[in-house]
Amino acid sequence: MKAPRLTDTTLRDGSHPMRHQFTREQVASIVQALDRAGVPVIEVSHGDGLAGSSLQYGFSHTSEFDLIETARSHAERAKIAALMLPGIGTRQELKEAVARGIQVVRIATQCTEADVSEQHFGLAKELGLETVGFLMMAHMRPPEALAEQAKLMESYGADCVYIVDSAGAMLPSDAAARVRALKEALSVQVGFHAHNNLGLGIGNTLAALEAGADQIDGCLRGLGAGAGNAATELLAAVLDRLGLNPGLDVFGLMDAAEYIVAPIMPFQPFPDRDAITIGYAGVYSTFLLHAKRAGAQYGVDPREILVELGRRQAVAGQEDWIIDVALDLSRRHTAGTRKESRL
């Protein structure tokens, strides 16, 4: 293993549990603390990326462009990054983000849809940005299929391609196999982004590092979607114990998590029943509320709905399946009850 580059995404993935309500003052204090502690890249944007502030994804308290500008003005050493999802963010938002100060863009697609990112990588390179590809929900496809998708991103201009465990569904062997496949297939760097739904955020990140990952992600206090991400301060401590500290101030990050982030958190993300179900089923966390509503309407355990959605490999944008699945399960239960009554 070698010392990785760490990107802290408290101010992007952490936007989900914060309901996209970060303020300029909060961004300034978090960026200053991360920058002083030696974190080299800090991601700042709406939780769903540039232009995510909307009725569908949740409105931001403060314009993400204002938050990016604030972050850049308070970072002395760290680079400022933003997330962009093709279909949500456009050329206009990317250009504005560059004008406000981003130096890195992370372009995220469903793990089977890398081909939709070609224009976005092309524009990012024209704008002089460092480019990172994100293959989301990467647990859903085998390593060799992900390698083919990653090669597309590399051909479009990605400087690094990430395996992204969006649902927190991977086991350490899953993370290692996928990172290893990309390392063997690509000439650019490979990264790993963990979620903690099965309590494996740190373990999976270490497995990815053992498989050769060059870049990893974390959030202070684990503040991220679902059960949260690998905690930045924990990653720093573990890397230091392994002799792989890339220049992070372990105590400084502990203090930032405890005294700056913890007081503003609406709750502490952790693997509760709902979060575990998301990881166990391997589905997007956004399905959870819909599954609960459908379960209540049709008398079905929401966990059964989510597990069936995972079996069908449902992805974002297929929320209409939730009602279909709930109806199917309800009919099965009814048919089973009738059969038992006849016996």
Binding-site residue ranges for substrate: 12-13, 166, 193, 284
CA distances from 84 to 125, 159, 241 (A): 14, 15, 34
The residues that bridge with 7 in the sheet, in sequence order, are 41, 217
Quick count: other Cβ atoms within 10 Å of Cβ 151?
A: 18
Q: Do 217 and 9 meet the contact criterion of CB atoms below 8 Å apart?
A: yes
Residue positions in the annotated binding site for Mn(2+)? 13, 193, 195
- The kind and range of the H/E element at 192 are strand 189-193
Q: DSSP characters for 77-99?
A: SPEEEEEE-BTTB-HHHHHHHHH
Which residue out of 16, 74, 139, 290 is catalytically annotated?
16
CB-count burial class (<10 Å; 0-12, 13-18, 19+) for 183: middle
Residue positions in the annotated binding site? 12-13, 166, 193, 195, 284
Report which of 51, 194, 217 is spatially closest to residue 132, judged by C-alpha positions: 217
Is residue 16 part of the annotated active site? The answer reads yes
What is the 3-state composition of the chain as percent helix, strand, coil, each rounded to the nearest 5?
50, 15, 35
Q: Which residues are catalytic?
A: 16
